[in-house]
Amino acid sequence: MLVIRCPWCGERAESEFNYGGEAGIARPAHPEQLSDEQWGDYLFMRKNPLGLHREQWVHTHGCRRWFVAQRDTRNYTFTSTEPLAAANKEQA
Amino acid sequence: MRNRYSLFSLVRNGLSHNEKWGRAWHSPEPKREYDVVIVGAGGHGLATAYYLAKVHGIRNIAVVEKGWLGGGNTARNTTIVRSNYLWDESAQLYEKAMQLWEGLSQDLNYNVMFSQRGVMNLAHTLQEVRDTQRRINANLYNGVDGEWLSREQIRQQVPLINLDSRYPVLGASFQRRGGVARHDAVAWGFARAADQLGVDIIQNCPVTHIRKKDGAIEGVETGKGFIRAKKVAVVAAGHSSVIADMAGIRLPLESHPLQALVSEPVKPAINTVIMSNAVHAYISQSDKGDLVIGAGIDQYTGYGQRGSFQSIEHTLQAIVEMFPSLSRVRMNRQWGGIVDICPDACPIISKTAIKGLYFNCGWGTGGFKATPGSGWVFAHTIANDEPHPLNAPFSIDRFYSGHLIDEHGAAAVAH
């Protein structure tokens, strides 16, 4: 089982968390202007990298807050976790 | 055919103390150029090579594999074969595979130990009963066998099962033609048969880059140098996204660990395959006697070929729920495979935007059962540069057109 550091609650067992997929996928501001390719890309296409992955988790059985983690998909080691707001600000 | 296995060869080799059996396949160095290079020597890749050579007469083929053949998901699944899918597109694809399974050992001259012992899908709620009966009817319309079993009929078939557990079993679907096959033998049988048709199987040869020019494929850079190819077909399962990234195309896949376990060998106790979506686990017993057990994927993505203990615990809780008498059976081995999950839980068997580059991926947790059918339709797609009608609906374009094939849950099991 993974040990995950929640930015608010500290290190907890994986069973308290739920995975939320790739981070940083912003919903397009004007979906009606997108081509089918762009819309399909937004909805379905994923990086799924071998190596560092930025992803979302939620501390379901704890503070119930979402956060963004960076994790190596080869050995499952977390390199960082940070609140969603901070991660989004960084990206913007 | 060289080294044809038969009763005669068994006797002849027995007389020479079994020391003169030849190698089942060669390990050649790669040539500089091939008509088709297949990336990935798992069951699907080797089946593709075999049907390309046998059905389409293309013999100048290499299958390159970064590890050893059949070392990935082909040897990491729970060996279940069935074709009782709800939707027409998937039922027809998996049924094609089922028909090939039924003659596969004879066709390959290799015993894949395909055993049609039946596959039972339990229904635990009224809604599940309705969904299951609907699926059986859909199966019958598609020429796939299926029948409804009452509680009493389930009890007759599987006396060990506890039907009155916390989530009582109300009935089950039963596909008698379903069953299990020996997964290693499937890879080995296809490898040997393809090798005898002139296919080069090159192991320990990772692909490091896909080379393309003016929107067409040129070949693959590998650990053993550049291999030029007219066509490149990628069948890399959990690593499909990694290969796609080399070619600069995006796939809708997420790779997750999927774990499975086998117990210590016990006397024959379970004579069919039993799957439950509600308590979420499936179980069968191998000819050796071990109970083969699996369930769902780990929640996070990853390539580590291992998962979390909590997934194993959930799996075994479900098994003990169905079979309390197994609560003290010890588990012998546990492992993880990396499965490429598609948003609609259906495969992608498709051409791509790059001319001469083909992908067969997204089989997720249910690819083993389709091995021969997958290879058969993919070989057709590669040879003709057009999909076969059976796999046309499984094009990558469906994620842009919106024509998904929504098999999530529809097949009444976690795939």
> Minimal Cα–Cα distance from B309 to chain A, Å?
5
> Which of A38, A39, A41, A45 to mutate against chain B (most B CBs within 10 Å)?
A45
Q: What is the pLDDT of residues A1-17, one digit of tens each?
A: 899 999 999 999 999 99
Question: Do B148 and B198 touch, CB atoms closer than 8 A?
Answer: no
Residue A47, pLDDT score: 97
Q: What is the pTM of this model?
A: 0.95
Burial class (CB in 10 A: 0-12, 13-18, 19+), A89: exposed
The residue of chain A nearest to residue B308, with distances taken between CA atoms, is: A1
Q: Is B35 left (phi over 0), alpha (psi -120 to 50) or beta?
A: alpha
pLDDT recorded at residue B211: 97
- Widest Cα–Cα separation across chain A: 44
**Contact criterion met (CB < 8 Å) for A15 and B242:** no
Record: contact A45-B252, CB cut-off 8 A: yes
**Nearest CB to B310 within list A15, A49, A55:** A15
pLDDT at A4: 97
Residue % of chain B over a pLDDT of 90: 94
Nearest CA distance, A90 vs chain B (angstrom): 23
- Eight-class DSSP state of B282: E
Q: All domains of chain A, ordered by start, with CATH?
A: 3-25+36-91 (3.30.2270.10)
User: B260 pairs with which residues across the strands?
Assistant: B294, B335
Q: Nearest by CB to A48, which of B241, B310, B401?
A: B241
Under an 8 A CB cutoff, do A45 and B250 touch? yes
pLDDT, tens digit, 9 for 90 and up, residues A15-29: 999 999 999 999 999
Using the Cβ of B399 and the Cβ atoms of chain A, whether some distance falls under 8 Å is answered with yes
Nearest by CB to residue A73, choosing from B302, B310, B401, is B302
Low-confidence ranges of chain B (pLDDT < 50): 1, 411-412, 414-415
d(Cα B360, Cα B183) in Å, to the nearest integer? 19
Summarised one tens digit per residue, pLDDT across range A48-57 is: 999 999 999 9
Strands B254-265 and B273-276: unpaired
Euclidean distance between the first and final Cα of chain A, in Å? 33
Q: What is the ipTM of this complex?
A: 0.95
Residue-wise pLDDT for A69-82, tens only, equals: 999 999 999 999 99
Identity of the residue in B250, B255, B310 whose CB atom sits nearest the CB atom of A1? B310
Question: B245 in contact with A at a CB cutoff of 8 Å?
Answer: yes
| pLDDT of B415 | 42
